[in-house]
Amino acid sequence: MRRRDILRGLFAGALGAAMPWRARAVTPDEIAQNYQRQAIERFPLKLVETTGDNALAKWQELKAAGQGIPVVLGGEDEHHSLGNLLTPFGPNGPYGPPLRSVEEILQKAAEIRFPDDLAARNVAGHQAAVQHLKDLLAAKPDMPLPVITETKDGKTRTLTRDETIAAMVRDRHEPPIGEWPDRPETGWGLSVAEDTRTGQPLQKVIIGLAPTDDWTTIPALLRWGDWNGCPKPEEHVAALRSWRDRYGAELVGMSADTINLRVASRPKTREEALALAREHYVYCNDIIDQGAETLSALAAALMANDWWYFWWD
């Protein structure tokens, strides 16, 4: 046998012994587990496990211990995945954008006037989206459009194509003020520790300990936001600092798409509550568009609750 054949045989045997995975395909679950493992290794918060019914008590215990700022990150099943929180820290490969530094995010946050700058950004973004839609329709008048329905007087109907276009290119407007409710919505709390389908506490909840003494920096540490209408990390920081200073707001929960704040003081008048509701809408329009429906309903809830709730689809 020639020397190179002997070497080839030895090399193949050694390679097979050193790389046992070579004999089978890697499963999607194994890829996901490997991704999660690498992301957790880079995740800037220490992770602590507890149960949903004990999450707030554990959060308070960790806060009192003074070993970092705790934040409840939600559960870890298929419907309450920690995965989206880990995404910025996963192995994105050579073509993934590098993580922005925390220092850069905090510097930009200091330059933001909340809520005015965020409101102006929302208007500019809407105008750009409308112009883009008009350009697409000019190039292809028969392009597919989303299906939009409306409910009026208890009856639901689908908008015509012309009505759909009109709705999509309409100028951004303030939500309706509405009537002040007789019974405001109450019961807001630590929703990230609950099953949103049943309202029951999750069996397993993760709490993160942030290496900081300033909880408003947590969105920067997690690079949280800038997707599906969710504000950028620096905009979250600016909003949270404004509400901390005026209402004693404190971050308790931050899951993949939800924020739970608890406040030390509530708005004292309807006028103040309506102004605050407008800020909430600038920050998270779904809180009215897919929730309270009117500014008055949200304002009344803000006067009746110590918890604030935001989510982005």
pLDDT tens for residues 220-235? Answer: 999 999 988 899 999 9
Residue 212 within a domain: yes
pLDDT in tens, 15-60: 344 444 445 677 888 877 888 888 889 999 999 999 999 999 999 9
Residue 66 within a domain: no
By DSSP bridging, strand 205-210 and strand 69-75 are antiparallel
Residue 172 within a domain: yes
Provide the number of structural domains found in the chain.
1
pLDDT in tens, 191-212: 999 998 898 999 999 999 999 9
Residue 117 within a domain: yes
Domain of residue 270 covers 109-311
Nearest partner of 150 among 170, 171, 164, judged by Cα: 164
* Collapsed DSSP state (helix, strand, coil) of residue 176: coil
CB neighbour list of residue 233: distance below 8 Å, 6 or more residues apart = 100, 105, 109, 219, 220, 222, 223, 224, 225, 226
Lowest-confidence pick of 83-97, 251-265, 269-283: 83-97
Which of 90-99, 173-182, 293-302 tops mean pLDDT? 293-302
Residue 94 within a domain: no
Question: What pLDDT is attached to residue 171?
Answer: 77
By DSSP bridging, strand 155-158 and strand 149-152 are antiparallel
Residue 3 within a domain: no
| Distances 154 to 150, 151, 157, 203 between C-alpha atoms, Å | 10, 6, 10, 39
Residue 271 within a domain: yes
Q: What does pTM read for this prediction?
A: 0.84
Q: How many CB atoms lie within 10 A of CB 282?
A: 22
Residue 35 within a domain: no
